[in-house]
Amino acid sequence: MSEKTEAAETTDTSRTIGTPLSSNATRVLLLGAGEIGRELAISFQRLGLEIHAVDKRNGAPGHQVAQYSYVADVTDAAAVLELAKRIEPDYVIPEVEIVAVEALREIEEASSAVVVPGARACELTMEREAIRRTASEQLGLPTTAYDFASSPEELKTILDEMGYPSIVKPAVTSNGRGHMVVRYGDDVTEAWQTASAEAHFDGRVIVERFVDFDFEVTLLAVRSIDPKTGELATWFAEPIGHDHRDGGLIDSWQPLQLSQVAMENARSIAARISNELGGRGVYGVELFVAGDDVYFSSVSPRPTDTGMVTMATQRYSQFDLHARAILGLPIDVTLTSPGAARMLCSEVDADTLSYGGLQDAFAHPETSVLLFGKAGSYPGRRMGVVLSTADNTDAAHLVAREASMEITIAADDDSVTAGTEGSSAGDASAGHAGGEEAGAEDAGVGEAGAAGSGVDAGAGAGDDGGADAGGGTGTAQETSAAAATTPESRAAADGAAAVESGNKTGPETAALTETANDSSPNSDSSR
């Protein structure tokens, strides 16, 4: 059963929706265009909105479906502000954790655009210290014992005082890597190096006392407007269980059965933290559950990787709910079937890939496969997901796992199975690390426009309308291909834009090109 709780805020629902690719379009500036961004773009497009997707990597999954796409560093305040000024969006929606929050604050103050769920929420959730202190010290939510270290020596002191085993994680990160369980006698220096290497900014790490929990749980809290009262309220989807390995998501399933007491505690925590952060949209609240006891771990003010299972299990997926909540439309979190999701992870390092075994995978009952369309892979990178439904989650879990083993990912002449035992994808019995997958790290600014993007829910793929081109002020590249209405005019626009791009030779352009071509795993926009 879903449930909602009331919030004290009220909000305006007077906005209308215009027509995409026209002067009155309702525009979304999507900061991040990984697989989460792609599905968000599709959900908004179904409601008639125009998507401007920004990502570090040209051709990112969200670029492939958006009407307009940009290669840009979303941590660069100047780049984000320039795009906001040019696009004049109605909504600015970060799909990633690490963004230029100073730009978001300025957008809130200087324009009518709605930042989702708000600059403050994005800032607090960007680093573990801020959100953990807000949850524990300000709201009094139950958390595991924690502290923060800035050096190996400080880490050793904290571990000796806190006790063993404990988990060491990066304080600020955009991926799930860098976690290490430290037991008595283990090498603290190794733990410091492992976590700090994945940490953004100053390399600080968080130390959490290990809890022998029963479940890692994602509880999706949806804040939107109650049509009966006109006030903000919070709805809860059924709990989602998940397993991780080496910080990366392996499996997720819905519903996860909790005791009545644990369910009430989980909803209370989710409501309190999402109300504190404010705004509208989906909050992915991460929890540890041990019997009836529930501990707050983290929160993402956006759809999550674990929530992808809702594309098969709910009447409206987390992406549809995020769009509906932001627009102030009625919320429906009905579960239609138990189900499970299993990630497809690559084992190869390659720029071009092909996928096999799809016919056999789809032959499994109540099963679908989504391929993210990422350009290039490295070992462990998520390339797709298998979604299965069944009479219960155990059965769905088994089917999803078996279907994933049918799929192969090939690089050149090298073909490997994506979801086998011992692969980078791991298996459902992998141990709990208490970690989270943050979704995406996006960076850089250039634009590639796409006219007539597809909005089908299936694979989520759309027509690619062109390549990077030039224009703007030197910090952003733009093509007019998106405005073209015929193949001939599109080709002409692409050609003109390419010439303009070729004239951009300043140092700013060179820096952007270098950023856009960065293919290191640590800078990956979507694992």
For 33, 382, 503, 518, the CA distances from 56, given in Å and listed in that order, are 8, 17, 22, 8
Q: What residue has token string 């995406």?
A: 440
**Sequence spans of domains, the chain:** 12-126+440-527, 145-209, 213-438
Partners of 417 in beta bridges? 408
CA–CA distance, 435 with 442 (Å, rounded to integer)? 20
So what's the pLDDT on residue 242? 95
For 127, 240, 279, 280, the CA distances from 13, given in Å and listed in that order, are 31, 30, 13, 11
So what's the pLDDT on residue 470? 32
So what's the pLDDT on residue 416? 62
So what's the pLDDT on residue 180? 75
Considering Cα of 187, then 189, then 194, then 200, what sign does the dihedral take? Answer: positive
So what's the pLDDT on residue 431? 33
User: Residue 295 has which token pair?
Assistant: 């501990």
CA–CA distance, 492 with 469 (Å, rounded to integer)? 13
Partners of 343 in beta bridges? 385
So what's the pLDDT on residue 5? 52
Contact 340, 309 (CB under 8 A): yes
Contact 93, 29 (CB under 8 A): yes
CA–CA distance, 500 with 503 (Å, rounded to integer)? 5
Which DSSP state fits 135? Answer: I
So what's the pLDDT on residue 119? 96
- Exposed/middle/buried for residue 226 (C-beta within 10 Å: 0-12, 13-18, 19+): middle
Cα angle value 455/345/322 (rounded, 5°): 40
CA–CA distance, 20 with 27 (Å, rounded to integer)? 8
- Report the top-level CATH class of 213-438: alpha beta
So what's the pLDDT on residue 115? 97
Partners of 401 in beta bridges? none
CA–CA distance, 286 with 503 (Å, rounded to integer)? 48
Query: Which phi and psi (to 5°) does residue 29 adopt?
Result: -95, 105
What angle separates helix 101-110 from helix 77-87, to the nearest 10 degrees? 30
Instruction: Please check whether the domain covering 145-209 is classified as CATH 2.60.40.10.
Output: no
Q: Is the pTM for the entire model greater than 0.85?
A: no
CA–CA distance, 307 with 378 (Å, rounded to integer)? 23
12-126+440-527 CATH fold:
Rossmann fold (3.40.50)
- Run of H or E residues at 195: helix 188-196
Does the fold of domain 213-438 match that of domain 12-126+440-527? no
* Per-run averaged pLDDT (10 residues), the chain, 527 residues: 48 77 97 97 98 95 97 96 97 93 96 95 88 94 90 86 86 64 78 72 78 92 92 96 84 97 98 96 97 95 96 98 96 98 93 93 98 91 96 98 96 62 37 34 42 33 33 34 33 33 28 30 35
From the list 2, 519, 521, 526, the residue with the least C-alpha distance to 254 is 2
So what's the pLDDT on residue 149? 85
What angle separates helix 152-162 from helix 188-196, to the nearest 10 degrees? 120
Query: Which phi and psi (to 5°) does residue 106 adopt?
Result: -65, -40
From the list 7, 219, 144, 117, the residue with the least C-alpha distance to 434 is 144
- Run of H or E residues at 268: helix 260-277
